[in-house]
Amino acid sequence: MFVAIAFIFFVIFLRLGYIQIVWGKKLQTRALEQWTRDLPVTADRGDITDTNGIVFASSGTSYTVYVRPNSVSNHSLVAELLSQALKLSYQDVYDKVTAKISENTIKRKITVEEANLIRSYNLEGVYLAADTSREYVYGDFLSQVLGFVSSDNTGQSGLEAYYDKYLRGVDGAILTPSDLVGKELEGESAYYTPPVSGLNVVTTIDFRIQRVVENVLDLVMQGHSPKGARCIVVNPQTGEVLAMSSKPSVDLNNLPRDNIGELMASTKNMLITDVYEPGSTFKVLTAAAMLEEYARGNPKAHSASYVFPNNANFRIVDGSRVKCWTTHTSSKHCNQNLGDALNNSCNPIFTDIGLSLGKETMYKYLSAFGYGAVSGIDFAGEQAGLLVAESAVTNGDLARISFGQTIAVTPLQLAMATSAAVNGGLLMQPYLVKEIRTQEGELVKKFYPTVRQRAISEKVSRELAGLLENVVTNGSGKQAYIEGFKVGGKTGTAQKYENGHIAVGKYVSSFVGFFPADNPQYLALMLVDEPTGAHYGSTVAAPYAKMIFQQIINYKNLKPA
């Protein structure tokens, strides 16, 4: 009997020891949760800066008002004072103050002035918790790239969403001892768990180049009254995005949050998420394919000096007429080599090139230059573009693809493909963020240039860059010419389609340019969507790319060659 009783006590002792040692921490936490009420302390979100540390987005201080109904002695007075201070309905506040719950939120994101006024009332059961609000220093500047956050400071779009895990930090709390019904216990001290601030995101964007692009796009909108205007500036050697903007833009400090459709449309980064028919800017790829295939000994390809024998201003392909943008009378567009065809932007010559190379070869270069696939940029929602399946391509399709029709690409794809054509032949992965740093400036993570693949040889790339420099010096890109600087480029004017038919009078006018042509460090793609009046890329887009390049030259204090 004695042994049995002793054994029972021994088992109980072991059980108590197990509970204390193994479950102790967990039970302590559960007890603390049952006998405390916590007020959150929101962590400061990390800053988003330009490549030189200029702040684009930061965290400001705001407050959240809470009420613990069981701790309120005069519900009517509290409801009256809070509704007046916060400009809220008395009945709505009264309902929250008298609710049968332990804690209720009255209003978030109140100002410092409102918080000080509520403090002065010294109301029982009313608490203020420090909160943070996102502040965008320049309003509608870089808005589609930065994105925005939700009311609880979680990234919803743009870089705010993509890098949310670095930016958001860890919230803290103020734990107040209370009874089971949520009433604060007298004489007990509160516990404070400090928040941990988020990390800072350092972008590749150069504030001064971005400002130039924003201002130039404003001039485009004023001068041509288009549906929209967009521009991207990249470093062709590294893939760094130096500037990226779309107009119209939106003030990130005053978003239309009550209209989800408008909110998403106004914050969408169309340079990455939307596609368009590129028109003649795409001829850079067809020219690259011909030169590279000639260098590899393909008998269906020609050298840059080869003179195309057919001087007609049209070709008949699969029973359809493919025309040049102008007549070939008075010896215009006659006896052209590749350089002439690029200068004149002559569709029939690029039709000849595409059909001669064939769809298998052309599709090989579409893939080599990144078309039909996402670029891998650090941004959500990127589109891969639209290509006709190679197995379904007709000669008519191939003819039009060769000069930038029957294919849809993103502006980013075209910018990176053109970069590959002139930077020595390497297709780079574009990126928007170069570093993650602590609030104290310590480096946490660094991002480096990434080569996706080789598109063409270095020799062919140099040759093509020279031909495109001549387009600006002597051809359709003359309005981008800058005395003393080697600027290359290609114009484009593409008709828009609606419901499967050409939309009369609607065009996307574009120019892709780069400098210096013999070692490109800057490449800009300018797009003007449905300009009013003049619509050729040579007159609507090229002059504005020139403005951007001139301002970069001044900013960097570059000297003429």
pLDDT digits (tens, 9 = 90+) for 59-78: 987 888 989 998 898 999 99
Q: How far apart are CA 184 and CA 180, in angstroms?
A: 10
**Sign of the alpha-carbon torsion through 22, 24, 26, 27:** positive
The residue whose two tokens read 């696939």 is: 373
pLDDT for the residue 178: 58
- The residues near 558 (Cβ < 8 Å, ≥ 6 apart) are 485, 552
- Residue 207, pLDDT > 90, answer yes
- Residue 459, pLDDT > 60, answer yes
- Residue 35, pLDDT > 50, answer no
Name the residue among 267, 239, 50, 38 with its Cα closest to residue 155. Answer: 267
Peptide bond into 543 cis (omega under 30): no
124 neighbors 66 (Cβ within 8 angstroms): no
Task: Describe the crossing of helices 458-474 and 283-295 by its angle, rounded to 10 degrees.
Answer: 140
- Lowest-pLDDT range, 4-18, 33-47, 475-489? 4-18
Confidence bin at 36 (pLDDT 50/70/90) = very low
**Structure-block tokens of residue 208:** 């001064």
- Lowest-pLDDT range, 81-90, 101-110, 401-410, 418-427? 101-110
pLDDT for the residue 324: 87
Residue 462 parent element (H or E): helix 458-474
pLDDT for the residue 1: 56
Confidence bin at 131 (pLDDT 50/70/90) = confident
Q: What is the mean pLDDT of the chain?
A: 90
- Residue 25, pLDDT > 80, answer no
Q: What is the DSSP letter of 87?
A: T
Task: Please indicate whether residue 280 is annotated as part of the active site.
Answer: yes
Domains of the chain: 38-201 (3.90.1310.10), 207-250+271-556 (3.40.710.10)
Segment 465-499, tens digit of pLDDT: 999 999 999 999 999 999 999 999 999 998 888 77
Burial class (CB in 10 A: 0-12, 13-18, 19+), 292: buried
Q: How far apart are CA 151 and CA 148, in angstroms?
A: 10
Q: How far apart are CA 43 and CA 59, in angstroms?
A: 9
**Residue 193, SS3?**
strand
H-type helices in 23-72, by residue range?
24-35
pLDDT for the residue 476: 94
**Residue 73, SS3?**
coil
Q: What is the DSSP letter of 71?
A: G
- The residues near 369 (Cβ < 8 Å, ≥ 6 apart) are 285, 288, 417, 420, 421, 427, 455
Q: How far apart are CA 201 and CA 155, in angstroms?
A: 13
Catalytic residue among 59, 280, 375, 510: 280
- Residue 234, pLDDT > 90, answer yes
Q: How far apart are CA 34 and CA 179, in angstroms?
A: 8
Q: What percent of the chain has pLDDT over 70?
A: 89
Question: Cβ atoms within 10 A of the Cβ of 354, count?
Answer: 26
Segment 142-186, tens digit of pLDDT: 999 999 999 888 999 999 999 999 999 888 876 666 554 455 556
Question: Beta strand 200-203 with 48-49: parallel, antiparallel or unpaired?
Answer: parallel
Strand arrangement of the beta sheet that strand 36-41 belongs to: 36-41, 172-177, 191-193
- The residues near 279 (Cβ < 8 Å, ≥ 6 apart) are 403, 404, 405, 492, 493, 494, 495, 508, 510, 537
Residue type, 375: S
pLDDT for the residue 43: 85
Cβ contacts of 107-113, under 8 Å, gap ≥ 24? 107/64, 107/65, 108/62, 108/64, 108/65, 108/151, 109/62, 109/63, 109/64, 109/133, 109/151, 110/62, 110/63, 110/64, 110/65, 110/86, 111/62, 111/63, 112/61, 112/62, 112/63
pLDDT for the residue 129: 79
200 neighbors 216 (Cβ within 8 angstroms): no
pLDDT for the residue 27: 37
Burial class (CB in 10 A: 0-12, 13-18, 19+), 472: buried
**Residue 530, SS3?**
coil
Question: Cβ atoms within 10 A of the Cβ of 194, count?
Answer: 11
- Up-side HSE of residue 145: CA atoms within 13 Å toward CB? 32
**Structure-block tokens of residue 364:** 């090989």
- Lowest-pLDDT range, 191-200, 258-267, 428-437, 472-481? 191-200
244 neighbors 232 (Cβ within 8 angstroms): yes
Radius of gyration of the chain (CA): 32
